[in-house]
Amino acid sequence: MMVAGHCSLLIGCLLMASAVAFAPSNPRRLSQTVSSQSQLRAAPDDVDFMASLRTRMDEVGDRDTKLPLVVLDSMLPRQVLKISVSNPVFMELIRTRLVEENPCFGMLGMARLQTGEQVHLRSGVEVQIVGKPKVLDDGIKLQLQATRRFRIDGDVENAKEGWTEGRVRFLDSVEEEAKEEETDGIMLARAMSKARKLEPLVDQWIELARESERQPGQIDQLLLDLGDIPDDDEPSERAFWVGALINPIPAMGVALEIRPALLTAQTADQRADIALRGIQNSIQHMNGSKKLF
Ligand SMILES: *[C@@H]1O[C@H](CO)[C@@H](O)[C@H](O)[C@H]1NC(C)=O
């Protein structure tokens, strides 16, 4: 395994080998899951729903911000990942979490430095286990959806059950941007103006991406998973949404990887910048004017 030396602490080493993205074997069942989910998301009280979800999770978070951590892939908020898992430690973790009201754990990815070295990121997302995992002969199949971002605070440790845990600090872009507005309002305004430029590009991107779909309906499903694009006065959220769109998991192969950069960016302006460049490059790649690879 490529990075064994670096990740002896984290069960991610095992997981990278055993958790693979799967294609839906029963599309009908999957679309039912997706449509019931999209009803929730598309409801007029969507915002209230998300807010109450967040509040509930905050209450839990206040009591204990220790999260089991899994190193698999950088995900962005709203992204959906379908995986099958056969690793015994990971399966035990899922079993343990499923008894809770909001079964979730922390998901982290790795990034390649310019030197070529692979490093663990301390910035990740909380993922919720959506619906009931399907039991397979040699494992389970489950659907995860990323919710809040977090950053690992301090050291990670090994839980007695065999997985890795760490204390995390959850990050809320509304709070982050409110702070930025106080310290550097001009920069935040610049982020918002970049965020405004994203919307027409999203329309262009979707049109081009429909022609490069790996499977029919892929883009429609992606849009259902992600919900509506956030407003341009929420530049960070809009940037994360765009990243989630152009960097789905598994990859569509039409854009450079911007998920780790978005997760580790410190300001709304950096995030908007990354999303803007990412989607512009992807459009130029797809329309043939400037190939990325
Ligand atoms: C491709 O997209 C870029 C960026 O939007 C645009 O400037 C260019 O004219 C487009 N080229 C073609 C061939 O459509």
Enumerate the domain spans of the chain.
2-63, 66-171, 173-287
Place of tokens 């305004």: 189
Percent of the chain surpassing pLDDT 90: 67
Pocket of ligand 1 (CB under 6 A): 283-284, 287-289
pLDDT at site 23: 29
Q: Atom 14, ligand 1: which residue's CA is nearest?
A: 287
pLDDT at site 37: 31
Residue scoring higher pLDDT (48 or 167)? 167
Report CA(243)–ligand 1 centroid distance (Å).
20
Whether the upstream peptide bond of residue 260 has omega within 30° of 0, thus cis, is no
pLDDT at site 42: 38
Residue (of 22, 146, 140, 133) closest to 79 by Cα position: 146
Report CA(284)–ligand 1 centroid distance (Å).
6
Per-chain mean pLDDT for the chain: 83
Residue (of 226, 243, 219, 6) closest to 116 by Cα position: 6
Report CA(285)–ligand 1 centroid distance (Å).
9
Per-residue pLDDT band at 102 (split at 50, 70, 90): confident
Report CA(112)–ligand 1 centroid distance (Å).
30
Q: Which of 3-17, 166-180, 226-240 has the lowest mean pLDDT?
A: 3-17
**CA–CA separation, 50 and 171 (whole Å):** 15
Ligand 1 pocket mutation, candidates 198, 204, 281, 284, criterion most atoms within 8 A of CB: 284
Report CA(280)–ligand 1 centroid distance (Å).
9
Class in CATH terms, 66-171: mainly beta
Mean pLDDT, range 227-245, rounded to an integer: 97
Residue (of 250, 256, 239, 257) closest to 201 by Cα position: 239
pLDDT at site 54: 60
C-beta separation of 225 from 78 below 8 A: yes
Q: Atom 7, ligand 1: which residue's CA is nearest?
A: 284
**CA–CA separation, 166 and 122 (whole Å):** 10
pLDDT at site 52: 61
pLDDT at site 47: 53
C-beta separation of 252 from 214 below 8 A: yes
Report CA(289)–ligand 1 centroid distance (Å).
6
Q: Atom 4, ligand 1: which residue's CA is nearest?
A: 284
**Most confidently modeled range among 21-30, 44-53, 278-287:** 278-287
Per-residue pLDDT band at 64 (split at 50, 70, 90): low
Q: Among the atoms of ligand 1, which is closest to the Cα of residue 290? A: 1
Provide the pairing of β-strand 80-85 with 20-21: antiparallel
Q: Atom 9, ligand 1: which residue's CA is nearest?
A: 289
Mean pLDDT, range 167-175, rounded to an integer: 96
**33, 198, 234, 184: CA torsion to nearest 10:** 150
pLDDT at site 58: 54
Residue environment code for 149-180, b if the CB has 16+ CB neighbours within 10 A, otherwise e: bbebeeebeebeeebbbbebebbebeebbeeb
pTM assigned to the model = 0.79
C-beta separation of 118 from 43 below 8 A: no
- Does 83 have pLDDT greater than 70? yes
Element (H, E) at 239: helix 235-246
- Does 137 have pLDDT greater than 80? yes
Ligand 1 pocket mutation, candidates 282, 287, 290, criterion most atoms within 8 A of CB: 287
Angle at alpha carbon of residue 116, lines to 110 and 119, rounded to 5°: 25
Provide the pairing of β-strand 66-71 with 104-108: parallel
Per-residue pLDDT band at 2 (split at 50, 70, 90): very low
- Does 263 have pLDDT greater than 70? yes
Ligand 1 pocket mutation, candidates 197, 289, 292, criterion most atoms within 8 A of CB: 289
